[in-house]
Structure 1
Amino acid sequence: METGFLQLFLVSLIEKLPQLLWAILVFVAGFFVAKWMGNTAVRFLNKTNLNQTLKRLGWAETLAKLDLSLDAPGFFGELVKWFFIIIFLMISLEILGLPQFSQFLGKVISYFQNIFIASLIFIIAVFLADFSQKIMVAVLEKEKITYSRLFGRVIRWIIWSLATLAILYQLQIAPTLILTVFIGFVIAISLTIGIAFGLGGKEIAAKILKELEKKLR
């Protein structure tokens, strides 16, 4: 009985051997491709000075409190690498005739797309927040406008708040709630600005407008 089972197993293994070899070859080749793609992503992001920009925005100190080091290019490089590893693993499982596992990995890859888009939103927000704050402060300080640095910080935090909501929505984390919060946040900002210029911040707004008027004369 045991001999018959062993013979059946060996025959099945020999029949599947070409598929097994192809699956291993595809996965090994895919692993090196994934590693190369990850390293390429790291080199590209290093050229953009992403880490330096994050340090200027205070991310290094925040992560240090959590005993984490700042390495944004390395993090995104790992995402890229694992994305391609999963793709080649899915192909290997298809070769072996295991569609259930490959279908599961297909769902994982679909969610990876959301992670990539969320990562892209984060990277854009990093540079947009830094650039907007610098421009706002530089322009207002050049014109000797009061509260220039305050306005710079406000612009930066508005961008980060909107980006955070967009990232959570993209990751499908309570999307209905996030969309509601996003709309409410935009309305709140609009009302705050309106109230600031209409009531509570009337004197500040008048002072800023008066300074601008003097500069434009």
Structure 2
Amino acid sequence: KTNKKGGVFMNSTNWAGTIVLSFQSIWDKFVSFVPELLSALIVLIIGLLIAASLGKLVAKLIKTLKLDDLIDKSGILEKMEAGGLGFSLSGLIGWLVKWFFIVVILIAVADILSWDQVTDFLSAVALYIPNVLIAVIILTVGLIVGQFIHNIVEQGIKVSHAPMASAKALAAISKWAIIIFTIMAALIQLGVAVRLIEILFTGLVAMLALAGGLAFGLGGKDKAAKWLEAIEREVSHRS
């Protein structure tokens, strides 16, 4: 009986010691983790403030350059606002810049906390954001060029004394052709269905070439020549 009681006492002592050691180990890990956690929080707070400031600065710069006004003239944003998707170019680019730096800050935080898988994932996200920014720039340039070509073609055809309906139709076709090509280029930059877009691009070019050939072959050669001369004069006048 004495041996049994002694064995039970020894087992209880061992269990108590094991529990104490477990809590001690957890406490030691927590104490060693606290400095890393505090460092990560400081980096996160400062980084978020910097990211928000840079986003606002870039948005303000774009507004100062009046790029929003150039995009508004294309009429695309107005149609998107009617569909409940209203946004401004300055706001979009500012938002992208802000989130790029937020992701960079989160990478730094994950690295401080030794979260390797999170770091790898956020690094992939950070590398993709510049593609989105470049795609936005491509779309912006395309919209501006499309509107410019629209105005040139419309004025050129008016000078040639062609019907107003023809002037507006051809100007709209010119603008939307450029916009469609621009959207395709932006999607390729984003890596979205690249092969499909390349096929669509080739088909669209072939369709336009065929339509142009038929137009000239069916008696539109003289009128097209007058339109091209008028457009050339308009471009020379503007330059």
Distance in structure 2 (CA, Å) of the matches to 1:185 and 1:47: 37
TM-score under structure 1 length normalisation = 0.85
Change (3 A) 1:2 1:130: farther
- Are 2:124 and 1:107 aligned? yes
Matches within 5 A, 1:118-157: 118-146=135-163, 147-157=166-176
Q: Secondary structure at the match of 2:192?
A: coil
2:113 to 96, 106, 126: 96
* Root-mean-square deviation (Å): 2.5
Q: Provide, for residues 121-158 of structure 1, a one-character-per-residue CA deviation record: whole Å limited to 9, x for no partner.
A: 11111211112212222344345455333332121111
**Counterpart residue identity of residue 154, structure 1:** I
Of the two, which has the highest radius of gyration? 2
TM-superposed CA distance for 1:188, in Å, is 1.7
Question: How far 1:190 sits from its partner (Å)?
Answer: 1.7
Amino acid aligned to 1:119: V
**Paired residue total:** 213
Provide the residue aligned with 1:206 in structure 2.
Answer: 222
Contact map agreement 2:146 2:174 (CA 8 A) in 1:
yes
Measure, in 2, the Cα distance between the counterparts of 1:169 and 1:212. Answer: 32
Cα pair distance change 1:96/1:36, threshold 3 Å: same
Query: Is 50-59 or 29-38 further displaced after alignment?
Result: 50-59
- Indicate the residue corresponding to 1:23 in structure 2: 40
Contact kept in structure 1, 2:160 and 2:226, CA below 8 Å: no
Choose from 185, 197, 200 the match for 1:181: 200
Moved more, 146-155 or 89-98: 146-155
Residues 1:57 and 2:83 aligned together: no
1:41 aligns with one of 36, 58, 65 = 58
Unaligned segments of structure 2, at least 5 residues: 1-17, 234-239
Q: Percent identity?
A: 27
Cα 1:112/1:211, change in 2 over 3 Å: closer
- Counterpart CA distance in 1 for 2:212 and 2:73 is 27
Give the Cα–Cα distance (whole angstroms) in 1 for the partners of residues 227 and 182 of structure 2: 32
Q: Could you list the runs of 5+ residues in structure 1 that have no partner in the other structure? A: none
Residue identity in the other structure for 1:206: D
| 54 and 93 in structure 1: CA distance in 2 versus 1, 3 angstrom threshold | same
2:199 corresponds to 1:158: no
Report the equivalent of 2:3: none
Aligned match of 1:79:
96
